[in-house]
Structure 1
Amino acid sequence: MLSLVVLISGGGSNLRALLEASEDAEFPARVVAVGADRDADGFAHAEEFGIPTFSLALSSFPDRESWGDAMLEQIRVWQPDLVILSGFMKLVPPRVVDALAPHLINTHPAYLPEFPGAHGVRDALAAGVPETGASVIVVDNGVDSGPIISQRRVPVLPGDTEESLHNRIKPVERELLIQAVLDIANGHIDLKELATA
């Protein structure tokens, strides 16, 4: 059974999908804790499912490195097999990435390497592309530049706004994330192998 710590910043829709999936006795992973860099709305999902939460605001620390060290300490309490950044809107310091790699994965609302960074959906619309997508990646010390675990295309429709496009990408992100967790738990994806390829 794969143990997961999920880090969020917002509503936690991917977190909820994981929590619902793990209610199935056959699903080979369980969320053991949920962390955030603020008092995130998504904590409500964790509370509903009886999952412990922790929150560490970057502004409470003298610098990003000390915040990262505290975050790593909190994560290590739970001894997770896998840490998932799911809508986590802070760059994780290199020390944290190096300590958790390659068992640190991230979802991103674009077909990487297209449109990395915090505004993938907005950037896709601004570029006028006919399609974008969703990706699940292994986190490295770049910005959305790690090895790709899985991805799928999503069309951009005439009249799409950032919100309408993001709302169509989110369900794809969730499906990719659930499948990635399944594949990692079942040994169909070897993160070490992927990270060194």
Structure 2
Amino acid sequence: MAALRIAIFASGQGTNFQTIADAVREGKLDVTIELLVCDKPSAPVIERASQAGVDAFVFKPKDYPSREAYESEILEELRARQVDLIVLAGYMRILTPTLVEPFMGRMINIHPSLLPSFPGMNAIGQALEHGVKITGVTVHYVDGGLDSGPILAQTAVAITEEDDEASLTVRIQAAERELYPEAIRLIAQGTVTIEGRRVAVGKR
């Protein structure tokens, strides 16, 4: 079976991009990273992509008349590279059906909470404010809603009495670096099926 062809979307530092790229380089993940998509020309993730030998499609949203306009151009880039899976890794743009619908069931995101708890922005702060004892990380499929798609994988992170947002963020990010490559590996193995809201992982 040919290696899964992925595109990573990111807007910032690119720590999850680096984790995935390292896993590929070390032979731990049987995928090829075909493209980085980035909406911020000054983002450090662009240099990470360059170092990894990954092409980057970098754009400024304000140069386009609408979200649909730049997403149409991104879609052309993805199709030209025969991308199988979109991996959102800190991409801070709202997606429209222009991009979501062609990749329904083939686009995943990572979120710093145990969904469906604390969707949206500042999930770590939300968890602390609510006083929960356990939060975590979720990898889910993108369905066009707010962190509402079928859940592929989760891992729990305990909250201690001493935690503040900074300390909890460190442990959440460490959990992300463990979970995201594993979730991509499951998809690459061809063992994942989506049935409504349920995601099943079986043997190939």
* Structure 2 unmatched runs, 5+: 199-204
> Is structure 2 residue 183 aligned with structure 1 residue 174?
no
| 1:31 paired residue number | 33
Partner of 2:160: 157
Unaligned runs of 5+ in 1: none
- Structure 2 residue 132 is the aligned partner of structure 1 residue 115: no
Say if 1:102 and 1:139, in contact at 8 Å, map to a contact too: yes
Is 2:38 the counterpart of 1:42? Answer: no
**1:132-163 deviation per Cα after TM superposition (whole angstroms, max 9, x unaligned):** 10000000010000000000111122232222
Task: For 1:17 and 1:61, locate their aligned partners in 2 and report how far apart those are by CA, in whole Å.
Answer: 31
Shift of 1:43: 1.3
Which one is further off, 106-115 or 55-64?
A: 55-64
Which is further off, 66-75 or 132-141? 66-75
Instruction: Look up the SS of the partner of 2:191 in the other structure.
Output: coil
Determine whether 1:100 maps to 2:96. Answer: no
2:37 aligned counterpart, secondary structure: strand
CA distance in 1, matches of 2:156, 2:195: 21
Cα separation, 2, equivalents of 1:195 and 1:55: 34
Change (3 A) 1:24 1:59: same
TM score, norm. by length of structure 2: 0.89
Give the match for residue 134 of structure 1.
137
What is the match of residue 14 of structure 1? Answer: 16
Equivalent position SS for 1:165: helix
Instruction: Give SS of 2:7's match.
Output: strand
Is 1:143 paired with 2:122?
no
Q: Distance in 1 between matches of 2:68 and 2:29?
A: 35
User: Which whole-Å CA distance do the structure 2 matches of 1:28 and 1:82 have between them?
Assistant: 13
Say whether residues 1:75 and 2:64 are aligned partners: no
**1:136/1:149 contact within 8 Å kept:** yes
Displacement of 1:26 in angstroms is 5.5
Secondary structure of the residue aligned to 1:22 is: helix
> Which 4+ residue blocks in structure 1 deviate beyond 3 angstroms?
194-197
**RMSD in angstroms over aligned alpha carbons?**
1.6
- Residues 137, 149 of structure 1: 8 Å contact kept: yes
Distance 2:26 2:84 in 1: 19
Separation in structure 1 between the aligned mates of residue 22 and residue 154 of structure 2, nearest angstrom? 22
Q: Is the 8 A contact 2:151 2:197 kept in 1?
A: no
TM-score of the superposed pair, with normalisation by structure 1: 0.92
Q: Does 1:51 align with 2:54?
A: yes
Contact 1:94–1:141 (CA under 8 A) maintained in structure 2: yes
